[in-house]
Amino acid sequence: MLTLSQTGRLVLPLTLLLAGAVTAARGQAPASDPGASPPSPNWNRPRESNAGTLPPPAPPGSGVADTAPVSPLPPVPPFAEPPPPGVFSAPPSPPPAPGAAATAGGFASTLPGGGRGLGAVLSPVVGQVPLSGGYQAVGFFDAPVRGQDTHLGYLQQDLNAITPIWQDVRNELYATARVGVESFFTHAVLPNTGQPLPAELWNVSVGTGYRHLFDNGWIGGASVSVGSASDKPFHSIDEMTVSASATLRVPRGDRDAWVFGVNLSSNSQVLPFVPIPFVAYLYNPSDRFQALVGFPFASVTYRPWDDLTFSASYALLTTFHARVSYRVAPPVSVFCALDFDNENYYLADRTDANQRFFNYSDRLSGGVHVVLARQALLEVSGGYVFDRVFFEGTGGTDQSFNKVSVAPGAFLGAKLQIRY
């Protein structure tokens, strides 16, 4: 189990998290307030701001410039009952739940959207990027290290923020920032080199993204981010990370769409520094079922009735998420989830510049999702983590060097999300 000092490092962030939630709730109407806007049943449909407020184009050949004023954007909607989880919601969904933390590597983590997820690319809504931020902390209790006379426990913390820079009904320009850190409590060593397991692993990044709605309804976008994923962030240029993406959303009919793009990342689980094209078709026959089929990712969300939602997604190479959520009351939902995650880092003292430090884990979790106020929500979860392995290599499939395996164990965490 975690020691007293280790538990204190987890309790303090959680205390601050809860204090922040109470502060955010003051002066806000509760989610069940009759005056609060109910969730739209057409949560994946284009909003009126994109469909009905665009100025009409000038007649062809008239020589008159398109100078009609752009209608102001509607206010960012508050947190009401959350839309069904998945990649299709607009505005973009909050970060993953505790136990499914945002990863530092893998194709899924480098997809476009400036940290807002693939939902930002699929969304037909332009110009409604909210000012938002989130903090989550997840504590993994001590478990034996296989083949070594020691245990390992660690604390994951993640702080992220998104802010619009400029936006109207045709354009959105936004900035993102993230600071993530894993703090390890162990005497484990890397077996081939005899080095101690890193005490901390950091993932720090800043980025920007842009999307534009064309007259024909197509939406083009691009995003770029730079940062460092290492035990000694920004130690040198060799620990720096960069990712860039370009996308095009082409609507097909009233509800479906094609999505095309290309993504490059220096820290992708597969093919780092290699541009990877992607294509997917969004099949959205109703507000209760949506499916995304493509390469190298796929996803499906199904709501058999209003209070129950199933969702699952996969991204190359080993990233998988599945979740079942049930609303027990207007502000409260319970859920269970299964997540296969990976994280990748560049250790500062590695002998091969192309070598990275990988962390794979599978997690089964359950928890509660509570809308605290019109702009704040809290999620608390716990569960079981298994198939944990750390290793070094030039690729994510070769686990033969410096491999450290950790026995299954329990974890507990919480997340606060605020949006204005």
User: Is the separation of the CB atoms in 220 and 247 below 8 Å?
Assistant: yes
| C-beta atoms surrounding 395 within 10 Å | 15
Closest CA to 154 of 348, 341, 359, 355: 359
- Specify if 253 maps to a domain: yes
Closest CA to 297 of 334, 247, 250: 247
- Compute the average pLDDT of residues 387-414: 92
pLDDT level of residue 322 (50, 70, 90 thresholds): very high
State the Cα–Cα distance between residues 203 and 181, nearest whole angstrom: 6
- The pLDDT score that the predictor gives to residue 400 is 85
| C-beta atoms surrounding 410 within 10 Å | 14
- Specify if 114 maps to a domain: yes
State the Cα–Cα distance between residues 390 and 219, nearest whole angstrom: 40
- Specify if 39 maps to a domain: no
Residue 175: strand, helix, or coil: strand
- Compute the average pLDDT of residues 393-412: 91
Closest CA to 83 of 359, 258, 252, 303: 303
Work out the mean pLDDT of the chain and round it to a whole number: 78
- The pLDDT score that the predictor gives to residue 117 is 57
Closest CA to 70 of 213, 221, 251, 216: 213
Residue 42 clears pLDDT 70, i.e. is over it: no
User: Is the separation of the CB atoms in 298 and 314 below 8 Å?
Assistant: yes
- Specify if 278 maps to a domain: yes
Any idea what DSSP says for residue 84? P
Q: List all residues 6 or more positions away from 375 whose beta carbon is below 8 Å from its beta carbon.
A: 24, 28, 78, 79, 418, 419, 420
Residue ranges making up the domain that contains 77: 4-34+72-419
- Specify if 366 maps to a domain: yes
pLDDT level of residue 67 (50, 70, 90 thresholds): very low
- The pLDDT score that the predictor gives to residue 369 is 94
- Specify if 46 maps to a domain: no
- Specify if 339 maps to a domain: yes
State the Cα–Cα distance between residues 386 and 408, nearest whole angstrom: 4
- Specify if 59 maps to a domain: no
- Compute the average pLDDT of residues 361-368: 97
Q: Peptide bond before 46: cis, by omega within 30 degrees of 0?
A: no
- Compute the average pLDDT of residues 177-186: 96
- The pLDDT score that the predictor gives to residue 15 is 44
Q: State how many domains the chain has.
A: 1
- The pLDDT score that the predictor gives to residue 352 is 87
